[in-house]
Amino acid sequence: MKTPRDSGFAFPDWAYKPESSPGSRQIQLWHFILELLRKEEYHDVIAWQGDYGEFVIKDPDEVARLWGARKCKPQMNYDKLSRALRYYYNKRILHKTKGKRFTYKFNFNKLVLVNYPFIDMGSAGSSVPQSAPPVPSGVGTHFRFPPSTPSDVLSPNGEELRSPGVFTSVARRAARGSVSDCSDGTSVASELEEVGMTGSDERPAERAFRSLFLPHHPRLTHDSLFRMYGVPPPAAVHFPASPLPGAPLLPPQLSPALSMTSTPSSHLPYTPSPSLASPMPGSHFSFSPEDMKRYLQAHAQSVYNYHLSPRAFPHYPSIVVPQPQRPDKGMAGPTAGTHFVAHPLHHQQPEDPHPSPYKFKLQPPPLGRKHRDGPPPTSAGLSGPSGTPYTGLGECGSATGQGFNCSSSGLTSSGSGGPPKIKVESVSDIESEEEVEVTDISEDDDNCDVFAPSHCNGRPALLPCPDGIMDNEEDELEEDLFKTPAAPSSGIISGIAAVVGMTLPGLKAEPREGSPSSPGGTQCIPLKLRFKRRWSEDQRMEAEIEEAEDKKSRAEKEEPSAQEAQSQKVMPVEEEMSGGSLAAPLGAGLRRVSSELQKATAQLSLENNGC
C-alpha cells in the first residue's frame, strides 16, 4: 500500500522546515516542494514516486498556484515554477527524471550540505547539553541517508519500499511536533533534543543525519554553502577504499564536503582519511571533543592529503588559521578584518610572484540591462500584489490578519553594497583545457562570481569541462551529470582546525611532497597547476561518480543484497603520513562548537517565527 498515513515519505525532518534554508528569509522552492510532499492533503497534487527523492507533480497548475500563493505571486504558473526548478539543476539540488513527465528528483546530498551546520564562533556559548546524538558513521562508506538497497529500508514485508521510506519515522515525529510548517519555527530546538536523545530504533543514519545536519547557520545562504561544498571529494576517487556496505557500525561520516559526490542512494567507497580509518572506538559520533576531533582531523587531512582545491575549504567565520609558510602581511583576506581564515593556500593569489598560469581578463560590467526589447514602458502593471484570492492554504495562513508573509524580513541581510562589480573571466576559456582555477579567497563578495554557476555547456565559465565527460553536447549519459558546480571558497578545514586548536600537519608539510597519491611526475609541476588539475579532475570525477552511482543505485533496486556480503574488509588505509600527531589540545573548543550549534538552532527557530 502506499502507506496512506505517512505516504509522504520521508525526508529528514530538517528538510521540511523552513529554517532549513539557511540564509533565506523567504521560503525556498525546494523547501516548499518538500512541504507539499509531506502533506497528505497534497498527494494528489504532488507526491513521491519512484526512486529515492523522486517526486512527480501530478497537478502542475495547482502546485504552481500554491507556490504562487505562498510567494504572493499570483501570476505564477508551472512554466515559471519549472524554470525555478530548472535552476536547481545547476545547483544540483534537483534534477529531472528524464522520460517521466513532471517528475523531478532531489539530490539529497546537496540538501544535506545546505543544512550542514556552521557555527559562528563569535560567542562562547555553553550550558547546552552536548547531548549529541550518536551518529553512525561510515568510514569507508559514503554517508547515505537512505539505504541504497530496498532491503535496507524495507520493512519485512517489503511494503514501504517507497524510495525514501527511511525517514518515515522521523517525518512522523516531526509532524507531531510542528505542524504549522512555516509559522512555527519553535520546534527545532526541542526536536533536536527529543530526537537527539532517543536512543531508539531509529536508524543510525537518521540520527546521524539529524545530529549532524540539523543545525545550521542562518547567515549562510544557499549559494555560499553550495560553493563551499560544491567541491567533489578527490579522496573519493583516489581511495578505492573498502566500502562497508551495510555495515552497521561505521566510522563517522565525515564532512559532507568530502562525500557529497554521489547521489543519496549510493554508497561510495570512500576513505575520508587515514586518521579516520584508524581505530574508531565508539561506533558513534557525537559532538564530544573526541569525536569532533576525529572528525575534523579526518576532514582536514583528507583535504590536505589530496590537494583538494583551496576552494574546497568553506569559509569559516571567526577562525584564524595558522599561516603556513609565506609570512603574509595583511593577506588579502576576506573582507573586513573581522575574524577570518587565513587560507593556507592563499599563496596562490594573484599577486603571486611567479608567472601565474592563470590568465584572466576583466570583463566589463554587464551592459546596461534593459536591453530586452522595446522601450521600457514605465512598468507598474502586473506585479502589483493585488489582493489575489489566496486559498488560505495551510502554510502561511497563520500570518496575522490577512496579509501573508509577503513582506516580512526577519534577518537583516547585509545590505549588499553595490561595488564596481567586475567579472573575472578566464581567458583560457573554452579551448584550453588547462583551465584555471582561481584560488580566490574572499568569499562574501563578488569575487565569488567568478565561479558562479558555470555552464559547461554554453558559456564556459572558469571551470573546465573535462573532455570526454562533460556534457558539451546533448549527450545522454548525462542523466546525472550536472554542470560543474560553483566553486566554493575559503577553508572550513583550516577553520575547523583552528577552532579545535590544532595544527594541521599536512598543512605545514610542503604540499608538494605529502601527497600519497600524487602521480609521478607531478613533483615538478607548480603548485598552482597541480591544484588546477586536481580541480579539473575532481570535477570530472564527480560527474562520473554521480552517474555511476545513479546507475548503480538503479541496478541495486533489482538485486537487494548481493556481493555486499561482508567484503568490508578493512580498507587499506594509507598510513598517516608524517603527522601522526594529530592529537591535539582541544576539547573546550569543541564543546563550544557543539553548544553553538544548538544555540544557533534554537535561535533560528525564533527568527523564523514571523513567517
Give yes or no for residue 383 binding DNA (CB under 7 A).
Answer: yes
Instruction: Tell which one of 1, 362, 382, 524 touches DNA (CB under 7 A).
Output: 382
C-alpha cell at 426: 578566464
Interactions with DNA, residue window 151-210 (CB under 7 A): none
CB closer to DNA, 36 vs 81: 81
What mask, x for binding DNA by CB under 7 A, covers residues 211 to 250? Answer: ----------xxxx--------------------------
- Label each residue of 82-121 as H, E or C: HHHHHHHHHHCCEEECCCCCCEEEECHHHHHHHCCCCCCC
366 binds DNA (CB under 7 A): yes
**Nearest residue to 166 via CA among 279, 277, 53:** 53
Judged by DSSP in three states, 25 sits in: coil
Angle at CA of residue 242, ends 241 and 246, nearest 5°: 140
How far is Cα 464 from Cα 386, in angstroms, rounded to an integer? Answer: 46
By the 8 A CB rule, do 280 and 252 touch? yes
Helices (H) and strands (E) in the chain, counts: 20, 6
Q: List the interface residues with DNA, window 439-468 (CB under 7 A).
A: 448-449, 452, 455, 457-459
DSSP H helical ranges for 472-587: 492-500, 505-508, 511-514, 527-556
Minimum CB distance to DNA, residue 208 (Å):
25
Q: Is 101 a binder of DNA (CB under 7 A)?
A: yes
Pick from 7, 8, 13, 29 the residue near DNA by CB under 7 A: 29
Give the count of alpha carbons within 13 A of 573, CB side only.
20
CB of 455 to DNA, least distance (A): 4
Task: State which of residues 17, 38, 65, 73 lies at the interface with DNA (CB under 7 A).
Answer: 73
Q: Which stretch binds DNA (CB under 7 A): 69-77, 268-276, 495-503, 576-584?
A: 69-77
Q: Which is nearer to DNA, 448 or 600 (CB)?
A: 448
46, containing H or E segment: strand 46-48
517 binds DNA (CB under 7 A): no
Number of Cβ within 10 Å of residue 123's Cβ equals: 13
Dist CA 465 CA 515 (whole Å) = 24
102 touching DNA, by CB under 7 A = yes
> Which of 376, 387, 415, 521 touches DNA (CB under 7 A)?
376
Beta bridge partners of 95: 105
For DNA, the binding residue among 28, 278, 553, 601 (CB under 7 A) is 28
Query: Binding-site residue total for DNA (CB under 7 A)?
Result: 52
Residue closer to DNA by CB (options 68, 185) is 68
Q: Which of 11, 16, 30, 295 binds DNA (CB under 7 A)?
A: 30
| Binding residue (CB under 7 A) for DNA from 81, 462, 507, 611 | 81
User: Which of the ranges 63-71, 126-134, 158-166, 515-523 carries the binding residues for DNA, by CB under 7 A?
Assistant: 63-71
Smallest distance from DNA to CB 48, Å: 16
| Segment interacting with DNA, rule: CB under 7 A, options 26-34, 242-250, 538-546, 585-593 | 26-34
Is 474 an interacting residue with respect to DNA (CB under 7 A)? yes
Which distant-in-sequence residues (6+ apart) come within 8 Å of 605 by Cβ? 19, 184, 185, 186, 187, 188, 189
- The per-residue b/e assignment along 497-514, b for 16 or more CB within 10 angstroms, e otherwise, is bbbbebbbbbbbbebeeb
DSSP symbol at 251? P
Closest CB to DNA among 353 and 381? 381
Q: Are 535 and 348 in contact (CB under 8 A)?
A: no
Instruction: Single out the residue of 43, 96, 219, 557 in contact with DNA (rule: CB under 7 A).
Output: 96
Question: Closest approach of Cβ 364 to DNA, in Å?
Answer: 13
Residues forming beta bridges with residue 104, ordered by sequence position: 55, 96
Cβ-based nearer residue to DNA, 80 or 557: 80
User: Cell 553536447 appears where?
Assistant: 473
Binding footprint of DNA on the chain (CB under 7 A): 23-24, 28-30, 60, 67-68, 71, 73, 75-76, 79-84, 86-89, 96, 98, 100-103, 221-224, 366-372, 376, 379, 382-383, 407, 448-449, 452, 455, 457-459, 474
